[in-house]
Amino acid sequence: MIILNLFWEFFKVGLFTFGGGYAMIPVIEKEIVDKQHWLTLEQFADLFAVAEMTPGPIAINCATFVGYKVAKLWGAVASTLGVVTPSFLIMWVIASVFFSFQENQIVQAAFKGLRPAVLGLIIVAVLSISKVSIADFRSVLVAAFVVVAVWIFKIHPILAFLVSGVIGVVFFK
């Protein structure tokens, strides 16, 4: 039963979330932390950090990790299939009709409304994760370092992760 539950919860995440992985974070948190209690908020923040650092889409990584934690290999498979199935089906349908509706003003207006909604969901994810990620002044400094390094100085995000890990080992042990 837990395998079906994992598939269903992540199917809903994949079905009702638009805008990519970051926009999915608040939905995943609500389902996994608040509703199912499969992870604590602290575990979710750690999961998010690991999912961000590993190759692949963040929502798929999150689903795979949660599924594995809850029900090992088959849980990981069920969660991963659950989160990708809606996207696959939706893209299949859209790909078959998109170009015939691309210039439609209603379709264009809908996309103009969805873009800021996606930004709003990403901001909610940032605020939620910051509750457990920004624990003290050192955490604020690391976050500020990453923002400045990546946004202003265009340092590669992987390098920022690596340096942050070293900073963590030196200053947070």
* Same domain, residue pair 123 and 155: no
Long-range Cβ pairs for the range 135-143 (8 Å, 24+): 138/171, 138/172, 142/167, 142/168
Whether the predicted pLDDT of 80 surpasses 80: yes
Task: Report how many domains make up the chain.
Answer: 2
* Same domain, residue pair 85 and 145: no
| 110's tokens | 């809908």
Mean pLDDT of the chain: 89
Whether the predicted pLDDT of 107 surpasses 70: yes
Contact (Cβ atoms closer than 8 angstroms) between residue 106 and residue 33: no
Query: pTM of the predicted model, to two decimals?
Result: 0.65
Contact (Cβ atoms closer than 8 angstroms) between residue 48 and residue 62: yes
Alpha-carbon distance 119 to 113, whole Å? 11
Whether the predicted pLDDT of 101 surpasses 80: no
Q: How much is the pLDDT for 102?
A: 75
Give per-residue pLDDT as tens, 19-29.
666 777 888 88
* Same domain, residue pair 69 and 125: yes
Q: Which domain holds residue 147?
A: 134-173
Q: How much is the pLDDT for 149?
A: 94
Instruction: Please tell me what DSSP assigns to residue 60.
Output: H
* Same domain, residue pair 150 and 118: no
